Amino acid sequence: MNNRSEIQKLALLRLREAKVLFDNKLYDGTVYMAGYSIELAFKAAICKNLSIDDFFCPNKYTQAKIFKTHNLSDLLIFSGLFTEFESEKIQNQSFFHQWSYLQSKWSEQLRYEPVGNTKPQDAEKLLRTIEDPHQGILQWIQKHW
């Protein structure tokens, strides 16, 4: 059930949910859900590159626990895309800035932050960072997932 295709759908759904939250001025949730879209996108890439057919099955891949991290830098490495990613960052300064911004604004620890911690402009910028059609992090991952 949670094969690569399903994880891809979840990544896109989390981004749509983030936009709905943004439209309803729920900026903390916007950032939280938008970041999860990237986490899931990397997990879809892991499934592709390691031929894992059911990423979230608790008993099927017990040794794959390490891939269930929320850390985007770790997931980037585990996805097998690190070398291509570094090359993209060197060739494309805007992409480098997008990644840096995402890294500075998102962590799974946001779920413990006080309510109202996120400014509207920060949530909007994070959404642009993720979904920009030319420099967006999600679009880049989608080329490889």
- Is-above-0.85 flag for pTM? yes
The one-letter code for the residue type at 113 is: E
Query: Span 19-48, mean pLDDT?
Result: 96
**Mean pLDDT, range 107-120, rounded to an integer:** 84
Cα 121 to Cα 2, 6, 96, distances in angstroms: 34, 31, 20
Percent of all residues in the chain with a pLDDT value above 90, rounded to a whole number: 70
Domains in the chain with CATH codes? 4-142 (1.20.120)
- Which residues contact residue 47 at a Cβ distance below 8 angstroms, ignoring those fewer than 6 apart? 3, 4, 7, 53, 55
